Chains A and B, each alone.
Chain A
């Protein structure tokens, strides 16, 4: 889907300037610090800033243009999950969902009611009213409601912020799968780095009143970019599937000169697999380590260090004779930096304790 957003939205003292022309594909994460204009940008695309002198075009269809009457929100084939659940208080969960099913006749993908209910585990909630639901349950119903409305584009403004880790792990792959099965792109606002990098095919960065596309998710994940590395930084690595060791039930993946062993059979996940490696699960050693239970050891060179709160983030460029060199992030202590003499240019071995396979690919 070709999306063009150009122009300005002024809200009080805040002005968002958008100049973006991109082919949306899969999940595009929209990241940025609070107040950077993420929600305003979503509102502009969804049709809730009809008076803004901006251009919004989707697949060549003009939804909004300066000095023209904007296409109203209900006619745009966009379904939005807002930060707040915004459930209709006088309807129970089932009727909230049905509201979306019978909403209107605009174009777009329509998902089956039963499928959405099953995927989001909504069956036990159907008879309950919004005030009887917990925050996380409300958010799940709101997500289901948005998915049931006909749409060619989904805009999710932190759709899983109120969910527990378990629900997130279950729902993220479902969203990613939907996106691929129905070829409906998702723009996904999130503050949670693992969440973003687990699902994102593209990253849009909102900063200084601008929204721009980030070239490479991998490079961005290790760039120390402030809005992302706040909570739980880590690196996205693209690997090639090599082999599955049935005896130990380990998949062998390769990137650069390095090999990674990941539990489970990933042979079906395609030739290229994206991994998320949290910085907190990466340790550094200045000498080669052998007698250790950690399987995944990657040689490389420290490229940069950045202080982050009580600890230090180190970006390690992994050795690669061929192909693109990938970087890892390691979270280490100040004491380790001093004792090991870590600095840019120092050779290290990165010990990787855990690896998350990108959920959508499983």
Chain B
């Protein structure tokens, strides 16, 4: 009993450190890529949701909010089907890049985008809804078309909401688990993220390693949120 424990501590300490660093790197890359792409796609979507009078507003808003209520494994399951070689997304990717999306970093980014979307569109939509219509009219009366109005007035007016949305999207991507497990698997250096590495540790009863990762993630999230809220309302 004592011998087994000591042996495990040895295996956990040396290669596991490198393993965790690698997972942290993959996690950071994934969260950065996801956040960057969402920061381009989410603002126009949130603006449309906030401003449109179309009957499609409610269904579209519901669709973007799905990841908030659906178990990640359900989303992950459907995404896995879609990204497999036989699925529509996977087939397309296979035809273009010669590989399906499932169990790749690109597939993981796509899944994370869908899963973190409501965390980015949410704060943006509520901020955009509060846009002073008088300022938009003033900009229009000066001759500013809708697109430059959005880029030059709406986005700068809501830069705090943009930062909040980016932080939430980033932190949420760092913390996701279910969807990654379903569509990414556990490939070191490719799709093994911190939450998966943590799961591994727990499965192998390496609680010391698990503590390190879990504590690290907890501290990171707490710090990021604290700084964000302080910055939002100094």
A interface, CB within 8 angstroms of B = 46-48, 72-75, 78-80, 82, 84, 86, 88-91, 99-100, 103-106, 145-146, 149-150
Contacts and interface: CB of A to CB of B under 8 A. Distances in A.
23 contacts: A48-B137, A48-B140, A72-B146, A73-B137, A74-B141, A74-B142, A74-B145, A75-B143, A75-B145, A82-B141, A88-B135, A88-B157, A90-B157, A99-B142, A99-B153, A100-B142, A103-B143, A104-B143, A104-B145, A106-B143, A145-B142, A149-B141, A150-B143
A82 B141 CA distance: 10
Contacts of A100: 142-143
Interface of B: 134-135, 137-146, 148-149, 152-153, 156-157, 159
Contacts of B141: 46-48, 73-74, 78-80, 82, 146, 149
Contacts of A79: 141-143
A309 to B, nearest CB: 35
A99 B157 contact: no
A82 B138 contact: yes
Q: Which of B135, B143, B152, B156 has the most CB of A within 10 A?
A: B143
Contacts of A105: 143
B153 A82 contact: no
A343 to B, nearest CB: 51
B134 A84 contact: yes
Q: Which of A72, A73, A82, A106 has the most CB of B within 10 A?
A: A73
A104 B142 contact: yes
Contacts of B157: 88-90
Contact of A86 (B138, B143, B152, B159): B138
A48 B156 CA distance: 23
Majority secondary structure, A binding face: loop
B152 A99 contact: yes
A46 B138 CA distance: 11
A159 B118 CA distance: 43
B232 to A, nearest CB: 15
B133 to A, nearest CB: 10
Q: Which of B144, B148, B159 has the most CB of A within 10 A?
A: B144
Contacts of B145: 72, 74-75, 104
A146 B137 contact: no
A133 to B, nearest CB: 16
Contacts of B142: 74, 79, 99-100, 103-104, 145-146, 149
A46 B157 CA distance: 24
Contacts of A90: 156-157, 159
Contacts of A78: 141
A104 B148 contact: yes
- Ranked 9 nearest A-B pairs via Cβ: A104-B143, A86-B138, A149-B142, A103-B143, A103-B142, A73-B140, A80-B141, A74-B140, A100-B142
A86 B152 CA distance: 15
Contacts of B144: 74, 99, 103-104
B23 to A, nearest CB: 40
Contacts of A73: 137, 140-141
Nearest to A72: B140
A348 B147 CA distance: 66
Nearest to A148: B142
Contacts of A48: 137, 140-141
A103 B139 contact: yes
Nearest to A79: B141
B44 to A, nearest CB: 18
Contacts of A75: 143, 145
A80 B157 CA distance: 21
A207 B135 CA distance: 29
A2 B65 CA distance: 52
B200 to A, nearest CB: 47
B32 to A, nearest CB: 27
Contacts of A80: 138, 141
A86 B134 contact: yes
Contacts of A89: 157
A89 B153 CA distance: 10
A74 B143 contact: yes
B144 to A, nearest CB: 5
A99 B156 CA distance: 13
Given A88-B153, A90-B156, A99-B152, A82 B139 contact: no
Contacts of B156: 90-91
Contacts of B134: 82, 84, 86
Nearest to B141: A80
Nearest to A90: B156
A78 B138 CA distance: 11
Contacts of A99: 139, 142, 144, 152-153
A100 B138 CA distance: 10
A74 B152 CA distance: 14
Nearest to A78: B141
Q: Which of B134, B135, B140, B149 has the most CB of A within 10 A?
A: B140
A242 B124 CA distance: 69
